[in-house]
Amino acid sequence: MALTVVLAFQRRFAGVLGKEWIMIAQQPLTNLQMELLRLYSVQLSDERLLEVKKLLAHYFADRLTRHIDEVWEQKNLTAADMEQWLADDDQ
């Protein structure tokens, strides 16, 4: 579900968010991924792996939310704008 939300925001804010957010899903391996591979080169239990996944998902969701809030304020968007987008059949 988190990926669906991110992709929906990418479509809506593609011209506003900038390349950093669009490229997250397109690069083969980022420096973060490489570091995590080195850091977690040991076998984790399924429970610990789920904890790490949740931690990372929350981190990136928080960053995206803060960035979108900034864009929202810069563009002077309103709740009416969001309602219009939600009602748009093309979304």
Q: What is the mean pLDDT of each run of 10 residues along the chain (91 residues)?
A: 52 57 62 83 87 90 93 90 84 62
- Residue 69 and residue 17 in contact, taking contact as beta carbons nearer than 8 Å: no
Q: Look at residue 40 and give its three-state secondary structure.
A: coil
pTM of the model: 0.52
Q: Of all helices (H) and strands (E), which one includes residue 79?
A: helix 79-87
| Virtual torsion, Cα 37, 66, 71, 28, nearest 10 deg | 10
19-45 residue pLDDT tens = 555 555 555 788 888 888 888 788 888
